[in-house]
Structures are given as structure tokens and as C-alpha cells.
Amino acid sequence: MLNSRPCAGYGARIDTWNVTRNRLMEDFKKVFEKNKAWAANTTASDPEFFSRLAHQQTPEHLWIGCSDSRVPANQIMDLPPGEVFVHRNIANIVVPSDLNCLSVLQYAIEVLKVRHVIVCGHYGCGGIAAAMSSQKNGMIDNWLRHIRTTARIYNDLIEKAATQQEKTDLLCELNVIEQVQNVCATTIVQDAWDRGQKFAVHGIIYSVKNGLLKDLLHCEAGNKVTHGADFPAVLK
């Protein structure tokens, strides 16, 4: 006959989990407290803010950036809610197999009629560092293959960098450039340009050390590419 009594230590584990759960829920309550404070402060400074926001969104920018919590689109560009349509993933990658990203891109261009599509990378990107490492990371290695392909293409240039930090920083920049090209190659962008829709695709990179953006390149209708002021010298 099976013993119906709980295993030894079972009750203690339940008690421990209950304590942990209570702490987690207490921490989560802060989300609502801070939200109420933010909503009140926003309304106090601009009484019509939420009324305008509820009517519709009319952003001029689509931001394709990294999921890194240190790289928030609105704050970096000093724009309020409603001004930036955002898609984020590990290492700001754009590939034709990612229907999530392509759906965002299509909606931004065809419905919102954004004027600027921004691909923003950042120095110190964990995805870039992981892609440069030989360490196995599990499922995400399938995603990082896109970065590793870029690294192979530009391997000779990357290896000329003096330090590992410089190599990583360069790959962060090269990844942005590759993703801008990927955005521009989509049927979504090409068809919109063929229709005469006016917008540009920009590649920029953010430094978490000083909060500043660097200007890498821009692409417009007709696949016209313009180098930004901070375009990598090794590619010139």
C-alpha cells in the first residue's frame, strides 16, 4: 500500500515558497505604486496628455533595438509615450524569418507611416559578446548565428583591431550596418519606396557609458546609402 504521508521536508519547502512568494508579490506591488505616481505627475504637468494619447498614436519613428534594459528608446531620444513605435530583441537583429519583427515593420510603414526607421545597437551588447565566444548558450545560439555570420564576413577587419574590446565594439557597429541592409532589403521597405513613400532607414549605436548616440549610416529610396559621421573608418 502506498504511503499517503507527505515526503519528509515537504511542508518546510511549502513554507519557504510561501515566504518567497509573499516577498515577490510585495515587490510587484511597487509597480502599481510607481504607476499611480507617474500618471498623477504626468496629468499634473499636462492635463490633456492621456486624452491625446487615447485618441491615436502618430509616431514618426520606428525603433528596432536591443532588449537590453539599459537601452530604452524613448528616454534615449527624449521623446514621450506615443512618439516611438518599438520592436526589441536580442542584439537588434532583423531577419526575414522573424515574422514578429516583419509585422512590426509592416505596420509601422504601411499604417503608421513613420518617417524614420531606426536600427539602434549598443556597445557592451551581451548578444554580441556571446556570439564572439565559443561557449555554448543553448537555444539562443540559433539566434546568435546571425551575428556569427556577420563576424565571419568581416573577420579580417575585426582581427585587425588591437584589443578584444575594440573587436567587440567593431562587431557591434558592423551588426547595426548589416541589420540596416536587412531592413532595406525587405519587400516591405522596397515596395513602400516603389510607391513613393517618403522615409529613411537609419543605423545608430548607443554608448551605455556616456548616454550618447553615434551616427553610422542612412538609407533612402533607390537604395541610396549615406555614411554617418561615425561610420567605421575600417569600412571606408
Half-sphere exposure of 146 (CA within 13 A, CB side): 20
Residue 1 lies in a domain: no
State the Cα–Cα distance between residues 227 and 225, nearest whole angstrom: 7
Q: Which of 13, 23, 70, 195 is catalytic?
A: 70
For the segment 110-126, what is each residue's pLDDT rounded down to a tens digit? 999 999 999 999 999 99
Provide the domain count of the chain: 2
47 and 111 within one domain: no
User: Is the pLDDT score of 8 beyond 70?
Assistant: no
At residue 19, does pLDDT exceed 60? Answer: yes
What pTM was computed for the model? 0.88
Task: Tell me, yes or no, whether 2 lies in a domain.
Answer: no
Residues 170 and 188 occupy one common structural domain: yes
Q: Please indicate, yes or no, whether residues 39 and 63 belong to a single structural domain of this protein.
A: no
pLDDT of residue 18: 80
Quote the CA–CA distance of 185 and 190 in Å, as a whole number: 7
* Active-site hit among 61, 87, 122, 146: 122
Pick the closest to residue 109 from 203, 217, 184 (CA basis): 184
Residue 236 within any structural domain of the chain: no
Active-site residue flag, 5: no
CA distance 64 to 18: 40
Q: Would residue 21 show up in a list of annotated catalytic residues for this protein?
A: no
Domain boundary among 22, 40, 55: 55
Give a yes or no: residue 143 inside a domain. yes
The catalytic residue among 61, 87, 101, 125 is: 125
* Element (DSSP H or E) covering residue 215: strand 213-220
| Three-state secondary-structure class, residue 230 | coil
Residues 19, 86 within the same domain: no
Could you list the residue range(s) of the whole structural domain that residue 127 is in? 57-231
Active site residue 115: no
**Catalytic site residue 227?**
no
List the catalytic residue out of 68, 87, 101, 184: 68
Is 172 noted as a catalytic residue in this protein?
Answer: no
Residue 185 is placed in which grid cell?
532589403
91 with 77: CB under 8 angstroms?
Answer: no
